[in-house]
Amino acid sequence: MNDLPIRILIADDHPVVRAGLRAVLETEPGFSIVAEAATAERAVELAAAGGTDVVLMDLRFGGGMNGSQATAAITARPGAPRVLIVTTYDTDADTLPAIEAGATGYLLKDAPPEDLAAAVRTAAAGRTTLAPAVADRLMNRLRAPHTSLTRRETEVLTLVAEGLSNQRVSERLHLTQATVKSHLAHIYAKLGVDSRTAAVAAALGLGIIRR
**Rounded Cα gap, residues 96 and 201, in angstroms:** 20
Containing structural domain, residue 118: 6-140
Q: pLDDT, tens digit, for every residue of 132-169?
A: 888 887 777 666 656 678 889 999 999 999 999 999 99
Report, as an integer, the average pLDDT of 4-8. 94
211 and 202 in contact (C-beta within 8 Å)?
Answer: no
Q: pLDDT, tens digit, for every residue of 57-82?
A: 999 998 789 999 999 999 999 889 99
170 and 136 in contact (C-beta within 8 Å)?
Answer: no
Neighbour tally for 7: CB within 10 Å: 18
For residues 32 and 130, state if they share a domain: yes
For residues 171 and 118, state if they share a domain: no
Indicate the residue among 91, 107, 140 that finishes a domain. 140
Number of structural domains (the chain) is 2
Per-residue pLDDT at 211 exceeds 80: no
3 state DSSP class of 182: helix
Report, as an integer, the average pLDDT of 50-55. 95
When the pLDDT of each residue in the chain is averaged and rounded to a whole number, the result is: 89
Indicate the residue among 140, 163, 192 that finishes a domain. 140
- Say if 170 falls within a structural domain: yes
**Residue environment code for 88-112, b if the CB has 16+ CB neighbours within 10 A, otherwise e:** ebbbbbbbbbbbebbbbbbbbeebe
- Collect contacts of 22-29 with beta carbons under 8 A, ≥24 apart: 24/113, 24/116, 24/117, 25/116, 25/117, 25/120, 28/117, 28/120
117/205: higher pLDDT: 117
**DSSP letters spanning 131-169:** -HHHHHHHHHHHH-GGGPPPHHHHHHHHHHHTT--HHHH
Confidence of residue 1 (pLDDT cuts 50, 70, 90): very low
